[in-house]
Amino acid sequence: MLSIKSIFRKILIWRYKHISEHQFMYVLSILVGFLAGLGTLVLKNLTFFFQDVLEGNLIKEYHYSLYFIFPIIGLFLVFYIKKYVIKKEIGHGISTTLHSISKRSGIIEKYKIYASLITAPITVGFGGSAGLQGPAVSTGAALGSTVAQLFHMNTKTRMLLIGCATAGAMSSMFKAPVAAIIFAVEIFSLDLAFASLVPLLLASVSAVVTSYFFLGKDVLLGVDLQEGFAIQDILFYVLLGVGTGIASVYFSRIYFKITHFFERFKNPFHRLVFGGIVIGLLLFLIPPLYGEGYGLINNLLEGNAVAALEDIPYDIDFSNVWMVIIFLLIVTLFKAIAMTTTFAAGGVGGIFIPTLVMGSALGNVFAKIINQFGFNVSETNFTLIGMTGLMAGVLHAPLTAIFLIAEITGGYDLFVPLMLVAAISFALTKYFVSNSIYTVELAKKGELITHNKDKNVLMMMRLETLIETNFKAVHPEMKLGEMLKKAVANSTRNIFPVIDKDQQFLGIVLLDDIRPVMFEQEMYNSLTVETLMKSAPAIINYNDSPEKVMRKFKQSDAWNLPVLKGNKYVGFISKSKLLTAYRNKLIEVTS
């Protein structure tokens, strides 16, 4: 009887004979889009199940104090699942995916398919103030990578399938297939060429059809525009762009500061306890921060700000517009704190939806304040465009922000203010925060994928594979005669590293430097290596990036440079081998 492995092998052989690489890529992109869409649906439905059971029935019908208790329970459950079930670090979805692309050639561990599917619904469903887009991308990207590995696809195709999975997750989540493609291109720096565009289209459509099949026409964010763009409101939109830019800088800075603060806790359990208490108190005091926040966004889009704030327990007269404005500003300020604390305490989630919550509240506040001074602007429009401004600024993804809101509204009536606010917010944020939350750590390490293909290829190269160790080392006290006999006579290289007894690198001796005296036998016992050696033109540190190594070769004009780990000698890298490896990697990722 044939085993599954042998059947699969026969399928692969048949595929090689009858289906071209491009055609098969289209098939895989549809498959990956379907799987990513399915994963996103599971993620959403599990989260909604927990929310309905806990928030809908228990908190409102039993006791308000559960706003404090449930998030802490959720964080404890996630902590023990990560420690005893998954037993590996999950990480933030989009950041870890970007790292896998830049440093692991798109190979993502299989456990990440289910890790976020288990932990994110518990984090968010129990009240953690985070989103699901990051976990959806993490699950989809792991599925895309696994499918590529299963069918033995090359590095370029594997990375494209990860992009297809990302587009599929976004498309399924928001039913916005065009914005999903732009998101994949903008965040993962994919080439928007015909070869990659068709697979992205197929994956995005496959995922959104899957979402329609299981959920019908239900959407997370639904709105019918009542008013289009009015030219007399242009100055207000400029002010909104500046406001959302400032809010984006605040969001990013708060994220970095709180994350850095929690890194002081060396024990994850201590981090969990402290963070759990903080997030519990925040949600107890400001219930609209509970969970993702779609209810708040949709209420604001419907013009019902009072319903958006109805869970606040204080005796507040929300018929007073200024009280609504104050509490929406409180939500705006504390959403970033609640989200980051959820992550820092050990929760699993994404930042995409919290930016929408914060943007919607800020945009609505802008409109209310403007209207209080006798003007008449659309609160719904400002709510939508506030979301665009925060997305453009925090995520550094202005095109995604523009097209997502355009697709949600079902038209392009707001295209001018969408573009204006996104551009201002992005430019302002970029000036103060050079990298997004997704990319800041990778950028610090020089591991960030960008649209600069030259840098990308260099970054994907593995330096340790280029180190050559067939150089004969010599010691400083060694005589010339001994060096000629033990090193020069037995080496095919023209450079000799000088090291001490502890493997500390001291310098180099070049064959050209000893050639004038190598046949002078009377000098064999008088000249030492220490006399003949000189400094290397440059030193490569073991952890240097390939880009930095290339720059050192250019500056030193050398053909071989020593590699040190600390002060200890490891080997040499030659310029010819580096350039050959660069050419091979370039062919691999662009063919």
User: pLDDT by residue (tens digit) across 470-523?
Assistant: 888 888 888 888 888 888 888 888 889 999 888 889 888 888 878 888 777 778
3-state class (DSSP) for residue 574: strand
* 3 state DSSP class of 497: strand
Question: Strand locations in 155-287, DSSP E?
Answer: none
The separation between CA 64 and the C-alpha centre of its own chain, rounded to angstroms, equals 36
CA–CA gap between residue 20 and residue 193 (Å, rounded):
19
As a whole number of angstroms, the distance between CA 378 and CA 300 comes to 12
pLDDT value at residue 206: 93
Question: What pLDDT is stored for residue 67 in this prediction?
Answer: 75
Cα–Cα nearest to 290, from 471, 542, 59: 59
pLDDT of residue 446: 56
Tokens of 115: 């890790």
pTM: 0.78
- Measure CA 538 to chain center: 34
Residues 120/43, Cβ–Cβ less than 8 Å: yes
- Determine the pLDDT at residue 30: 93
- What's the rounded Cα separation, in Å, for the pair 586 and 588? 5
The predicted-structure confidence for 154-195, as pLDDT tens digits, reads as follows 777 888 888 899 999 999 888 888 999 998 888 776 665 556
Q: Name which of 45, 66, 525 is nearest 290 in CA terms.
A: 66
pLDDT tens per residue across all 591 residues of the chain: 556 677 767 777 777 777 777 788 888 999 999 999 999 999 988 988 888 877 665 555 555 667 788 888 889 999 999 888 888 877 776 777 777 776 666 788 888 888 888 999 999 988 888 888 888 988 998 999 888 888 878 777 888 888 899 999 999 888 888 999 998 888 776 665 556 788 999 999 999 999 888 876 666 666 777 777 888 989 999 999 999 999 999 999 999 999 899 988 888 888 999 999 999 899 888 888 888 888 888 888 888 888 888 777 777 877 889 999 999 999 999 999 999 999 888 888 888 889 999 999 999 999 999 999 988 899 989 999 999 999 999 988 899 999 988 888 766 788 899 999 999 999 999 999 887 777 766 555 555 555 555 666 666 677 778 888 888 888 888 888 888 888 888 888 888 999 988 888 988 888 887 888 877 777 878 888 888 888 888 888 888 878 788 888 888 888 889 999 888 898 998 888 888 888 777 766 655
By the 8 A CB rule, do 180 and 167 touch?
yes
pLDDT (0 to 100) of residue 251 = 93
Looking at residue 389, its pLDDT comes to 95
3-class secondary-structure state, position 562: strand
The set of long-range contacts for 501-506, using a CB threshold of 8 Å and a minimum separation of 24, is 501/475, 502/568, 503/568, 503/569, 504/567, 504/568, 504/569, 505/539, 505/562, 505/564, 505/567, 505/568, 505/569, 506/476, 506/533
* The residue to which tokens 């929300």 are assigned: 318
- As a dihedral over the C-alpha atoms of residue 380, residue 384, residue 387, residue 388, rounded to 10 degrees, the angle is -150
> What is the model's pLDDT at position 444?
57
78 neighbors 152 (Cβ within 8 angstroms): no
Residue 213, pLDDT score? 85
| Domains of the chain, start order | 4-215 (1.10.3080.10), 231-453 (1.10.3080.10), 455-590 (3.10.580.10)
Residue 192 confidence (pLDDT): 57
